[in-house]
Amino acid sequence: MAEGQCERIRMWRWRRSPLRRRCDLVEAWVVLGGWVLALVGGVLAGVVAVGAVERAAEEQRAQSRRVSAVLVEDADGRVPARVPADYRVWAKVSWTDPDGTSHTDEARVAPRTKAGAAVPVWTDGRGQVTAEPLSSGEIRLQAVSGGTLAALCAAGVVLGTVWVVRQLMERRRLAQWALEWERIDTRNGWKTG
């Protein structure tokens, strides 16, 4: 073997050896348990997040309904919508619910639309203007994104905790080694450092 190179022994913490300490075996179990918990916890967190996103989107879809509103004022010279990529502008619209309740609110409409024009708007269960419900493709994308993020966060928390535990174990191990070196040095009257 070339000088300066060391043979790497895999899974050394699991093998019986007079040099293996109890803390080495405990560390091996902590790491194994951490990886298993991160994997299982990440999958569970992802599945729960996907279900929550899909339920919320379906609830929004169930409560939303499309109504035909009338534009109250001209949409000329109005401020563009809050989203920079959206070409529509905010304008005041009014509509009547099936039960006869009249509502007035602002909605996004095409620019240069004249007052009195029929404009489709989406309303929620309370009669307020809301965004159009997500399509099935958008729901799927948000569910997958949310599930992936939740899985990564859950696994990251577990693996971060394992890392902290390993650092504490390493600190304790170094303190034990320092005590043992001190005992060996003082017993024979030697000083190594």
Per-residue pLDDT reduced to its tens digit, 49-99: 999 999 999 998 888 888 888 888 887 765 665 656 667 788 888 888 877
Identify which has the larger pLDDT, 166 or 176: 166
**In degrees rounded to 5, what are phi and psi of residue 145?**
-65, -45
Q: Which pLDDT score is estimated for 193?
A: 55
Q: Judge whether 190 lies within some domain.
A: no
Q: Are residues 111 and 78 in the same domain?
A: yes
Ranges of H-type helices in the chain: 22-63, 136-187
* Per-position b or e across 86-108, b if 16+ CB within 10 A of its CB: eebbebbbebeeeeeeebebebb
Determine the pLDDT at residue 173: 87
For residues 20 and 14, the answer to whether their CB atoms sit within 8 Å is no
Range(s) of the domain holding residue 94: 65-132
Q: Report the domain count for the chain.
A: 2
Residue 80: the pLDDT is 61
Token pair of 5, please?
A: 């190179």
Domain assignment of residue 107, yes or no? yes
Of 145, 128, 148, the closest CA to residue 137 belongs to: 145
Are 125 and 149 contained in the same domain?
no
State the pTM of this model: 0.69
pLDDT band at 113 (very low <50, low <70, confident <90, very high): confident
What is the reported pLDDT for 50? Answer: 96
